[in-house]
Amino acid sequence: MQNNYWETVSSICCHECGHLLEDSVDTCLFCSGLQMYTDMNDKQLYNLIPMDSPQAVLDEVMVILDLISPDFDTAPVTSAFNMTVNLYRGKYPGYRACNTEYHDLSHTIDTFLAMVRLIHGAVLDGETFTNRHITLGLITALLHDAGYIQEVGFANLKLTP
């Protein structure tokens, strides 16, 4: 019987960087640090990586995708992530930077990370997904609030949720 995802998350993480590790992994794939055992009171999921760094979130998603499927083609996910970051920062042609108080880049990358963790947990519990479905789920998480982004020609209205 497979471990419950939350038991796995709460029991094994890298001592150096806090990334989640599989039971059978002795060293972190991300930084080569040694595993340590902890509990949820000691290390919360939101403290494992700096959530104010889109690159750190993307790096964590890449580690989790490798755990899910070592042959996963990350190029479409990485491309969609970079385009989404540019869109929310106002660096995507024809669009303003995000000006909403909640449906912003931080919320978007939180959702992206939550989605990959949910998929990983489901896989640990025996669910199967095609790589295409995983890709579509992650891109959907990235773009779920993109409709709040205003076009350059649109009046600069402050939007609230």
Kindly report, residue by residue over 45-88, the tens digit of the pLDDT: 556 788 889 999 999 999 999 999 999 999 999 999 999 999 99
pLDDT-flagged residues of the chain (< 50):
1-11, 33-41
Q: Read off the pTM.
A: 0.71
Give the per-residue pLDDT at 40: 44
pLDDT value, residue 101 = 87
Contact 79, 92 (CB under 8 A): no
Helix axes 105-124, 54-68, angle to 10 degrees: 20
Whether 90 contacts 96, CB under 8 Å:
yes
Among 103, 104, 100, 107, smallest CA distance to 157 is for 100
27 touches 34 (CB < 8 A):
yes
